[in-house]
Amino acid sequence: MYNKVVMVGNLTRDIELRYMPNGAALAKGAIATSHRYKTQTGEQKDEVCFLDFNIFGRSAEVANQYLRKGSKVLLEGRLVFEQWTAQDGTNRSKHALRVDSMKMLDSKSDSQNSGSYDNNQGGYNQNNNYSQPQQSNYNQQAPQNNYNGGMNNQAPKQTAPEQNIPEIDIDDDEIPF
């Protein structure tokens, strides 16, 4: 069975960081996302989804350090069904997102601390503004040989691969808080 969830939205509260008895970090939070649509009568309606999430390990500490209420974030993980008994003895349950990776999307973060953390990779990938020389073979000519045999010995120019990254358009007016 396949269980994968990707959510982009804003945090509805600050991250709550705890440490489990084995020393592993656990961050709890909630995300809100909305979808605007038109009804059959032409009226604009907003459909809002709130979902609690859990982040484990080093990424929990990173989330606690950088994310605050209202922060834009992309969370990827799987949906889990949590059950417990409340203090009054009633059985309670809810769906939650168990996060495998996250990406901070705030514009402030983009210029300074933008990064993503992937629990499965075990490391925090931070994109800083450091200039690093990058070598690329795109649009460079191949070395010429002395013998051309009546043919053009130049290698065809390579074009950079297209990056089909979808743009996520979230308007601040659509956020329910």
Query: Residue 34: which CATH number?
Result: 2.40.50.140
DSSP-derived pairing of the beta strands 44-56 and 91-104: parallel
Mean pLDDT of 105-120: 55
- The region that residue 156 occupies, defined by phi over 0 for left and psi between -120 and 50 for alpha, beta otherwise, is beta
Q: Is residue 169 part of a domain?
A: no
Answer yes or no: pTM beyond 0.75: no
Tell me the HSE value of 12 on the side-chain side, using a 13 A CA sphere: 16
Length of the chain in terms of residues written: 177
The pLDDT value given to residue 97: 96
pLDDT digits (tens, 9 = 90+) for 123-166: 444 333 333 334 444 444 444 444 444 444 454 455 555 555 55
- pLDDT value at 6 more than 70: yes
pLDDT higher at 16 or 176: 16
Which residues form the domain of 15?
5-126
The pLDDT value given to residue 108: 59
The pLDDT value given to residue 11: 96
Do 57 and 119 meet the contact criterion of CB atoms below 8 Å apart? yes
Q: Is residue 145 part of a domain?
A: no
Quick one: tokens of 171?
């308007």
User: Which residue(s) pair with 123 in the sheet?
Assistant: 118
